[in-house]
A and B are shown apart, each in its own frame.
Chain A
Amino acid sequence: MNKIKSLDDLRRIKQDLAGGMNIREKSNSPESLVQIRVAMATCGIASGARNVMNTLIEKIEKDKIPAIVTQGGCMGYCYAEPTVEVKKPGEDPVVFSFVNEKVAIDILEKYVLKGELIDGILPVNYRTIEQK
């Protein structure tokens, strides 16, 4: 490692290193972020939840979206897997069904960033993250 020769050097290195810590930084203050939970039970994984999750994470990293992706257990919508729950700060959570990689991008671009609703929203009849 080269020596840090100035404050700018330090800032540059910080920028390079920050990515790896992002997930921890975000988890430190989840209440101020969009919390996205991918159902990762057997049914979800079998339906491709892992790919969905990877897509979400990569997109969030790339576009620096203030969101955090966690994995959850089965939400009871096995027929609709993969399911993704999205909770924006101060809003009620919304669950999307039959999410594939394309829908995942849509969720981020449309619902998370612009607030537009997209197809595949399930009715709210479950406990929220907050009530857990």
Chain B
Amino acid sequence: MSNYKMHILVCGGTGCRASQSHEIVEVFKAELKAHNLENDAQVVTTGCFGFCEKGPIVKIIPDNTFYTQVTPSDCTEIVLEHILKGRKVNRLLYEDPKTQSHVEDSKHMDFYKKQLRIALRNCGFIDPENIHEYIARDGYAALGKVLSEMTASSAIDEIKKSGLRGRGGGGFPTGLKWEIASKFKSDQKYVVCNADEGDPGAFMDRSILEGDPHSVIEAMAICGYCIGATKGLVYIRAEYPLAITRLKIAIEQARNFGLLGNDIMGSGFSFDIELRYGAGAFVCGEETALIHSMEGKRGEPTVKPPYPAEKGYLGKPTNVNNVETFASIPVIILKGSEWFASIGTERSKGTKVFALAGKINNVGLIEVPMGITLREIIYEIGGGIKDGKKFKAVQTGGPSGGCLTEKHLDTPIDYDNLTAAGSMMGSGGMIVMDEDDCMVSVAKFYLDFSVEESCGKCSPCRIGNKRLHEMLEKITSGKGTVEDLDYLQNLSKVIKDTALCGLGQTSPNPVLSTLEHFYEEYLIHVKERRCPAGRCKELRLYSINPDLCTGCTACTKACPVGAIEGEKRQPHIIHEEKCIRCGACYAKCKFTAINVQ
């Protein structure tokens, strides 16, 4: 590698690519060439920086200048001003929503200040399609160390001592999982990487695979060595074409370097990896369902035990870990379990990646140490609630999680605290809601997802979730009763208690947690037939303010059902019984004379 004085890192993640980041790379290259700067500055396509809301991101090294929402036409200016003259292009710098001032480099951005990037350590830092850059960052050194200096059991011990727990949602101790799989005797075992990321809004696994595929490959090989498997399979969603491409390139490179294949680094250990594509069924994130899907069977879970560690893929002992879990492994091996265990809380060690979304200023992917509070995430990293609105709730754990409220803001986040608060870690979705969000509708939204994604195998999930959804629909359309709330509660509990797999056992969480924390809001829906947030369309009440109405008749013409009456130039009235709450009149009125309640 030649030594460039400056590196221009351009995000090549799916989000930024969708906004022409590949074109940005081309323009940069052409501009550098045009200004004879080819030997001074290098353009690197990296993985995701996490700050997806403001993409495409361009980061200039060494000064860490963080340009946001860059377009191909901005590249010339960046080259001329910044690369050539050292003057930052101010208008492209990130603007702090609190101070409205431009922040010169990423080190001073609130979004990054509190982050600690372990699983995402290489994302937005290296070129994922270049194994050299991975190796230069101590890539495959952990594998080398394990193969040449450690026994399988000592490596497993190291992982156990680190306290790493499954990042896919279950939170099962990873070292223990490996140990169990290592104890079953078999002619063939399998290491499976679960890359069937399915929570709506969560994309950390995709980001890791797009930004740092080698870390997953390396970790899978380490796992193979530990449990005695020579074959690895990555079960990845077919809807992740870029991740698939990068992973394929990485596997090929690793093979060419002898880091996959036979007799890796002269250790006698052989390991190789194949890809299996998922069709995007949420339930296939459940490990037994995932294994069935890989076997070409219907993707649905089976009763455990037997666990995959005993009878997994093709009936052989199989260890399944999620992408983020794997991505943490090489660092633990290199830096040691003590280092990792020093981060986080008593029972949840290390860091966790969250996909921050919703009514928050800084939307994106963040990695924070366990034990950080929701307040820190929302108000510091996330930059607070959008448009200065009031925080109402945060949903963690995706469709399987629950809603947490104001009173949970200072709870340190870890597996156990989230569960105790009625939510869960899940795969790390985090959706922030403000005062304009109706919690009944929020619960309905998640149920809609669970209904859609239920595999249909067990009755409580197949029919129960459908009934929950219908019940919520009834409430949001103003037809619910107080008794319905009791039934909602009972049905939710029974589904949790009786469903076959993790999907059904958690799908009522959004209902239960909103019932617990926002019972009043439910009551208002069923007793007063009113939606306090004004979200439930069918509960809106339209009326005309006679003082403001000019009798222009625009609303009368707009109303599709003839619910508005009135003489010309006289105040009109809306007949509530005819009104279908479509809002057409509201949109048409130029005099703000139409009230919505």
Contact = CB atoms under 8 A, between A and B. Distances in A.
The answer to whether A and B touch in the complex, with CB atoms under 8 Å apart, is: yes
Contacts of A9: 265
Interface stretch (B60-68, B189-197, B274-282): B60-68
Given A14-B135, A28-B125, A68 B62 contact: yes
Interface in B144-172: 144-145, 147-149
A4 B259 contact: yes
Interface residues on A, range: 35 or more
A26 to B, nearest CB: 6
Nearest to B62: A27
B132 A17 contact: yes
Nearest to B254: A4
Contact of A40 (B86, B137, B265): B86
Contacts of A21: 1, 126, 133, 136-137
B389 interface: no
Contact of A5 (B6, B61, B140, B265): B265
Contacts of B63: 27, 70-71
A72 interface: yes
A38 B62 CA distance: 12
Question: Which DSSP category, helix, strand, loop or mixed, fits chain A's interface?
Answer: helix
A116 B290 CA distance: 64
A75 to B, nearest CB: 10
B137 A4 contact: no
A103 B86 CA distance: 21
Contacts of B100: none
B346 interface: no
B487 interface: no
Interface in B442-463: none
B87 interface: yes
A72 B81 CA distance: 11
B259 A40 contact: no
B7 interface: yes
Contacts of B145: 7
Given A27-B64, A28-B125, A61-B3, A73 B138 contact: no
Nearest to B82: A71
Nearest to B59: A27
Interface string B1-40: 1111111010000000000000000000000000000000
A13 interface: yes
Contacts of B147: 7
B1 A132 contact: no
A74 B87 CA distance: 8
A130 to B, nearest CB: 9
A53 B84 CA distance: 12
9 contacts: A4-B140, A7-B147, A14-B138, A17-B132, A19-B3, A21-B137, A24-B126, A28-B125, A40-B86
Interface of B: 1-7, 9, 61-64, 84-88, 104, 107-108, 125-126, 132-133, 135-138, 140-141, 144-145, 147-149, 256-259, 265-266
Would you list the 5 A-B pairs with minimal beta carbon distance, nearest first? Answer: A20-B1, A40-B86, A3-B258, A71-B86, A7-B144
